[in-house]
Chains A and B, each alone.
Chain A
Amino acid sequence: MRILLVEDDDLLAAGIRDTLERALYAVEWVDDGAHALAALQANSFDLVILDLGLPGLDGIEVLRRVRAGGAATPVLILSARDTAPDRVLGLDAGADDYLIKPFDVDELLARVRVLQRRQRGAAINVIEHGRLTLNPAALSVTFDGRPVALQRREFMLLQRLLQSPGQVLSRAQLEEAIYGWDGGIESNTVDVHIHKLRRKLYPEVIRTVRGIGYIADPPPSRLSA
């Protein structure tokens, strides 16, 4: 799960980044509207956290341009502007949620999870996938009801694959899901983590699509349902 954070206050951005990264999200940070638009054009994100009072290009304008460009990426506005008209303006401009500064970290994470599961079309956070259960809030995975200890990047990879069951994801897409821009990417990291996941869970959990990437096949129970 990859999040673009648009916030001009460096210290607040650092705090939000810490929070999100510790909850195993990959975060990219930009400090103004122009950079935000450039980042959104060049990369794919699962969520944008957008401050409104940005220097230069205002947050609302950024949002309008993103939506005008046809992008449906969920956007959560994080703003000091707290009046009802402000919130209406933000939501009408295409935001999916609106959070007022100062905010509670747990609430921010909960709202991020809501937007995340809404994208999957699910009503609950917990992802059930055959014999697997993945809880994004608790950062836990169980296999046949037993907890499995996963490394940080293993969890991020698995979460990304289970979020789009039956969809082939390229190695690049998976890399984006587990790294920020600054993280040094070694060419075979994704393969290494997939290998570890298969060993900790069961081999068929992730299928290799030769020359393209990986897929988490929809579990049989779901097919029959």
Chain B
Amino acid sequence: MPKITYITADGIRHVADAQVGDTVMATAVRLAIEGIPAECGGNCSCATCHVYVVPDHAALVGPPDEEEDSMLELTASERRPTSRLSCQIVVTPELDGIEVELPPEQL
């Protein structure tokens, strides 16, 4: 199982066993990791599952597509070069070990 580390805005690290095919958002929700409200349930309509991919892992995760890119303009916390919506990141074996930081605000 790929491991994903979620780092909350106050620095707490949660290491999650993710299932291939799940999204990074759904994994956090399943494991009750707070800081990802994911209001629309993964439909790329609300921008409340914003994460910052730790820069060293950004290339592995890749850039957002057009739809996600436009929604990233709506995030409650500042957008950074490695901002992604976690409902659009599908877990693959290659993502094992990635770390994502949660922004201070999602709403």
- Do A and B interact with each other, yes or no? no
Q: Mark A residues whose CB is within 8 Å of B.
A: none
Chain B contacts to A: CB under 8 angstroms: none
